[in-house]
Structure 1
Amino acid sequence: MALRKLGKDPESPSGGSPTVYLDEEKDSYLIQGWKVEDAERLGQMDIPRHESVVEIPRRMVQFFLEVKQDDEAPDV
């Protein structure tokens, strides 16, 4: 299984995180981000035991294919 790197946070001080990947075989995204450990924020979500939460900045949305495709679509 090969993952396709869609983009890294251009403002990351270390240049290594967050990162958005696409798994084309499973048709899903993998997100490398900051681990959310704030109990108050986590308490506002319904997170199953087999899942976890990571955080990415809003500016990272540019790396999701659907957003790029919408930007490239001609205006009708």
Structure 2
Amino acid sequence: MRAKFLGKDPESLQGDSPTLFATDRTDRTTYIAQGWKVTDPQVLADVGPVPDHETLIEIPEDVLTFYARRYQQKEGDN
């Protein structure tokens, strides 16, 4: 599997996250998100147990615009 850079939070400093990548999986469309680790106890309590092989990351709405842009481009290709 390969990951293609889509974009990064424009408000992040050089070398910081959050960043969004698209994968080239052929069985399903997936994204890799590099972001801030969620450590807020209230959020963790609200979400509930997270399996050891999973994690929660916080992604700013601005970063999701990169997903929206890619989605619109894919729709335009059809």
Instruction: Give the TM interval when normalised to the shorter protein.
Output: 0.7 to 0.9
Tell me the TM-score normalized by structure 1. Answer: 0.76
Q: How many residues align?
A: 72
Identity of paired residues, percent? 38
Q: Which has the higher helix share?
A: 2
Matches within 5 A, 1:29-68: 29-46=31-48, 47-64=50-67, 67-68=68-69
CA RMSD of aligned residues (A): 2.3
The answer to whether the Cα contact below 8 Å between 1:9 and 1:15 also exists between their aligned partners in 2 is: no
Which structure has more relative contact order (CA 8 Å, sep 6+)? It is 2
Tell me the TM-score normalized by structure 2. Answer: 0.74
- Structure 2's unaligned 5+ residue stretches are none
